[in-house]
Chains A and B, each alone.
Chain A
Amino acid sequence: MRVMAQVAMVMNLDKCIGCHTCSVTCKQTWTNRDGVEYVWFNNVETKPGVGYPKRYEDQERWHGGWQLDRRGRLKLRAGGRVKRLLNLFSNPDLPDLDDYYEPATYDYDTLVNAPAGPHTPVIRPKSAITGRDMAITWGANWEDDLGGAPEHAPADPNLAAMAEQVRMEFDKTFMFHLPRICEHCLNPACVAACPSGAMYKREEDGIVLVDQDRCRGWRMCVSSCPYKKVYVNHRTGKAEKCTFCFPRIEAGQPTVCAETCVGRLRYLGLILYDADAVLEAARVPDPRDLLEAQRRVFLDPSDPEVVEAARAAGISEDWIAAARRSPIYRLAMEYRVALPLHPEYRTLPMVWYIPPLSPVLDAVTGAGADADDPDNVFHAITDLRIPLEYLASLFSAGDTEVVAGVLMKLSAMRAYMRARTLDGTVAEDLLESVGMRAAEMEELYRLLAIAKYDERYVVPAAHREDAAALSAQAGGCSLDGDGGPGMSDFHPAGVTGRRGDGRLGLKLFVRDGGTA
């Protein structure tokens, strides 16, 4: 056992309203530069939809990720080492700019400098690449809220495996948002594909980075990443990718996308894993076993044996303690409601998702039934093949039982808490149906619904004498200046205690909110 620590993320998709705040703050922080105008380290897609870049999930076309060869060995889908070196001069799997979109800006200057005349001056879109006039025909979130979906969304590769009628009717059926960042995989295909060895996974926290000084612009990482989260900076000719905001993580702060998430749907925490078990897990024969195989790579931070091995591997006490408080471990391993995105790519991704119940609830409501009645929802989960199959193609390599199990838990949690809050009863039958205890159920509820900043983001600072100097942003609010809104007592102390209206929050079975 070789214990390594990884900073991981879970996103609760039921809470995502598709506001794109994460995308915008990420872009302002990392990619508001020449050469990466088209690049979104964080983007939010509407599903069903083709995504960004278009149809990136179609690995028949892009050859991203890994596959098993005939003898059951792991191989990059783009081919062996020799084959890929032969493709060095022209990479057949590289997306074009038009597969992303041509970024545009406007000649805003015209509004101010146009000579006086009878008409209001108008601005025209200009390509940010060539500077020429252009028509804007695509964007990173072109299909926002299913816009244009009847025309485009049938091209969603996840729908390809599904029955024909699904494709015709899905836009009436369901929709949800999928925020995506780099997965910082345990078995990263981009790192494996980099001819220069410029990409690496950090031993301390598992963050996957591009060494800008060593990258030589062979662009193999871009095509080998099945999530298409490595990009070419066409100005520098080098690869760039989501950094997991490592300067902030090192300083013990959440990533920008997590920090600014309006819906508070992102969780950050540590996972201890056995680095020696990674390849074994990535090459289980049946893609549907990949989820459990990956879970077996994760180590229980409360297990004394694991703690001993972690200490031996040089992981510090505060990191081990943080791993014990990790919301990621709880969501992925204890409550088992978080699932990886496209485990069948065999990269063992480390940004997991709690699948959304909303597609099912939408369908129940659409059918004229009461979506608050757990029986209706339970039946819908198993009966409504369409959303279930779709979610399964995203989160469990097509295994609908896994997704159904998670949705049952989420649905049971709602119904259970409804009974607790409104009737004051403990719905034992609901607990039984999903095999959870009351305390567990309420802890899950607490973590998903009301967990505060310190419970959602359990990020220990990096061990460097002057980690604080790395702090990406000084503490405090930028509006705290003279006359700013922050001057007033904007955040009353003890928000977690008595509520603003004087009422007390719901008392739970769990002592101190169960976050230890």
Chain B
Amino acid sequence: MSVALWVVAPYIALTIFVVGHVWRWRVDQFGWTTRTTQVLESRLLRLGSPLFHLGAFAAIGGHVLGLLVPKSLTEAVGVDEHLYHLVSVSAGTVAGLMVVAGLGLLLARRLTSPRVRRTTTRADKVLFAVLTLTIALGLAATVGQNLLGGGYDYRATIAVWFRGVLTFHPDPGLMAGVPLVFQLHALSAWVLAAIWPFTRLVHVWSAPIAYLWRPYVVYRRRAPLGARR
């Protein structure tokens, strides 16, 4: 059971994530978009969307720091457990609340605005459900365990296991004693990864950073007839 949850499931999700993205990129450039609905409703979006996105950036940054950077490295640069805990819990809570508030506004918008509601696809609905679950569990872990509870040092277990998965040395034993809320958060995150390539989330990979240095006006020659990219 432990192998199925902490070794097999992650690799299935990662495979779908990678293969799914390659497939989608190749066959569905036309569908690769943010699917913006701002033109249909902008009042709630004006607040909700920046909250959600900026909160998500902070949360993703926190996950990179917490999961990918080994504890030994942060300690080597003089960040002890107490300081790390302080920063991660405070920043994590703020980021989590931003994401929850933003997502709440965006979901409310989707439900209350008939215009936006009509554009919602099945993939959107699945995505919103999984995303909400993952975020709720993540916030519960941060607030419930680390802020209000006694605190749990996930960097000794979850982070090591996660890096093991990425480096093809998975150790399911590390996840055995992890609190349930962290376990559920991790599992729902794998589900999110698995559906990612089939949803609007693909727009994340198109973040237009190159815009900062490209020339303003783009000239292109007409594609030769019959040549399709």
Contact = CB atoms under 8 A, between A and B. Distances in A.
Contacts of A192: 216-217
A430 interface: no
Between A96, A191, A465, the greatest number of chain B beta carbons within 10 A of the residue's beta carbon is seen for A96
A114 to B, nearest CB: 26
Contacts, number: 134
Interface in B172-229: 200, 203, 206, 208, 210-212, 214, 216-222, 224-225, 229
A90 B38 contact: yes
Contact of B39 (A89, A94, A130, A470): A94
Between A96, A204, A216, A236, the greatest number of chain B beta carbons within 10 A of the residue's beta carbon is seen for A216
B203 A216 contact: yes
Interface residues of B, number: 45
A97 B45 CA distance: 14
B218 A191 contact: yes
Contacts of A85: 208, 211-212
Contact of A200 (B35, B36, B212, B220): B220
A218 B29 CA distance: 15
B38 A219 contact: yes
B36 A237 contact: yes
Interface in B102-154: 114-115, 117-119
Given A97-B115, A130-B118, A202-B222, A197 B214 contact: yes
Between B38, B54, B200, the greatest number of chain A beta carbons within 10 A of the residue's beta carbon is seen for B38
Contacts of A201: 217-220
B34 A234 contact: no
Interface in A9-58: none
A248 interface: no
A215 interface: yes
Nearest to A216: B206
B115 A129 contact: yes
Contact of A232 (B29, B36, B115): B36
Contacts of B45: 90
Contacts of A132: 114
Majority DSSP secondary structure for residues of A touching B: loop
Contacts of B225: 464-466, 469-470
B212 A92 contact: no
Between B115, B117, B119, B224, the greatest number of chain A beta carbons within 10 A of the residue's beta carbon is seen for B115
B39 A236 contact: no
Contacts of A188: 217
Interface string A284-320: 0000000000000000000000000000000000000
A70 to B, nearest CB: 19
Contact of B219 (A203, A219, A465): A203
A205 to B, nearest CB: 8
A421 B58 CA distance: 78
B40 A237 contact: no
A203 B221 contact: yes
Contacts of A88: 208
B221 to A, nearest CB: 5
A266 interface: no
Given A187-B217, A202-B221, A96 B39 contact: yes
A90 B42 contact: yes
A164 to B, nearest CB: 33
Contacts of A482: none
Given A94-B42, A462-B222, 8 more contacts: A88-B208, A90-B47, A132-B114, A197-B211, A217-B33, A218-B34, A222-B39, A236-B30
30 contacts: A82-B212, A85-B211, A85-B212, A90-B45, A94-B42, A96-B39, A97-B115, A129-B40, A191-B217, A196-B206, A196-B208, A199-B218, A200-B218, A201-B217, A201-B220, A203-B221, A203-B222, A212-B30, A216-B33, A216-B34, A217-B203, A218-B208, A219-B39, A236-B35, A237-B34, A237-B35, A237-B37, A238-B33, A462-B222, A465-B225
Interface of B: 29-42, 45-47, 49-50, 52-54, 114-115, 117-119, 200, 203, 206, 208, 210-212, 214, 216-222, 224-225, 229
